[in-house]
Amino acid sequence: MKVNTAIQSKRLALLGDLPRFQSVLHVGRPNVGSRERLLERFNDMLDRRWFSNDGPFVQEFEAKVAAIAKTRHCVAMCNATVALEIAIRALELTGEVIVPSYTFIATAHALQWQEITPVFADIDPATCNMDPRSVERVISSKTSGVLGLHLWGRACDTEAIERIGREYGLKVMYDAAHAFACTHRGTMVGGFGECEVFSFHATKFINAFEGGAIVTNNDDLATRLKFMRNFGFSGYDKVSYLGVNGKMTEACAAMGLTSLEALDEIVVVNKTNYEAFEKYFSGLQGVSLIRYDKQEHNNYQYIVLEIDPEAAPLNRDEVVDVFHAENVLARKYFWPGCHRMEPYRSLQPNAYLMLPNTERVASRICLLPTGQTVDAGMIASMAEILETAFQFSGEIKDALGKRQK
């Protein structure tokens, strides 16, 4: 549904007006949950004087995350990047591991940091997830595993990826940072592959201030993970593994538990916002909103626009500039792709030749704010901004051109 701007003036900050929003709107602004319940937990923690080292809040958080993911084990971590690194080490991956380039840089860094070469596979442009056919094309004698990704909370093709893993003797794990409380063909994300890694960073719809977790149904792996996050200690004075300090603190677990209590409420807000974006952004020329399968459980935490530069009056970068001028801090996830960032750009200068879909999609995607701090009125205003910018696209391009000189 198009917003009627026929009687509106230009009203765009890039053309000399004041920004539409006085306060800045961020992608991934934290959801809070019950402030009172959080403070109660903090007081309990202070009374106990148990701040870290597998405290009761961490144990409770792990149990609740495992129950939601329907896995036997959850091992909470200080953040999802360390969780990826520990999972990779616990699975004894070496040599090369296949990973999508269209992801947050931490997915690749978690491998490279351990001197494992991330080999980039292309994506399916229809889903933005790693294309299993591309995975097969880049398997070599050095490949030890596949690190898949569930982008935007929509699960990748786990069946095809795990079939490839079995056929070639590769270990399969998943970066599920976007996909907490989501399903894939009716099964909760969490139990696929050897393990999956969730993020509970402040920008995620369920947050623990800063946190992550590894979920798995592999009993032996879970035991190793617990030891490795605590310097390798398997007893009071016994170290059995090479480990690091990857533990989640009690303060972070307290926030995580408070967030989990608000999970259903936050998902309803996200879904309501998503439906408002569908309503107000439909019909905008050259703009499409990614779709969620309504047969699945979705967390709806991302509002993802694809801007077709051949159909839209402005390209993605120009759209982002328009929104930024209006104090809507739209984001170019995951521009320009890991393969065009260091150190990979220098180590693999020709990687782009194998990643045409990644290159194309990365240049078209734009994320907009959602969550508890966004409502339907704000969404209508965002749609109005974009429609007005399209109406005056020539003047917008001129204004942007002058700013670049």
Confidence (pLDDT) at 7: 38
Please, are residues 202 and 209 in contact by the beta-carbon 8 Å criterion? yes
Side by side, the strands of the sheet bearing 287-289 are 287-289, 303-307, 365-368
Locate 300 and state its tokens: 């709806």
Q: Residue 5 pLDDT more than 60? A: no
Backbone CA torsion sign across 246, 250, 252, 254: positive
φ, ψ of residue 171 in degrees (nearest 5): -80, 140
Write phi, then psi, for 304 (nearest 5 degrees).
-115, 115
| Token representation of residue 172 | 């399969």
Dihedral sign for Cα 178, 262, 369, 327, please: negative
High-pLDDT (> 90) share of the chain, %: 96
**Packing angle between helix 219-228 and helix 80-90, nearest 10 degrees?**
120
CA nearest neighbour of 187 among 64, 62, 301, 71: 71
Helices (H), 282-315: none
Share of the chain above pLDDT 70, in %: 98
- Residue 351, token pair as written in the block: 């990687």
DSSP 377-395: HHHHHHHHHHHHHHHTHHH
Quickly name the fold that domain 35-261 has.
Aspartate Aminotransferase; domain 2 (3.40.640)
Average pLDDT over residues 11-30: 96
Distance of CA 342 to the CA centre of its chain: 20
Buried-exposed string 360-373: b where 16+ CB fall within 10 A, e elsewhere: ebbbbbbbbbbbbe
Report residue 73's pLDDT band, with 50, 70 and 90 as the boundaries.
Answer: very high
CATH superfamily of this structure's domain 13-30+263-330+369-404? Aspartate Aminotransferase, domain 1 (3.90.1150.10)
Domain residue spans of the chain: 13-30+263-330+369-404, 35-261
Residue reference for tokens 């969620």: 292
Each residue of 150-203: pLDDT tens digit? 999 999 999 999 999 999 999 999 999 999 999 999 999 999 999 999 999 999
pLDDT tens track for 229-285: 999 999 999 999 999 999 999 999 999 999 999 999 999 999 999 999 999 999 999
Return all residues near 193 (Cβ < 8 A) that are at least 6 apart. Answer: 148, 158, 161, 162, 165, 171, 172, 173, 174
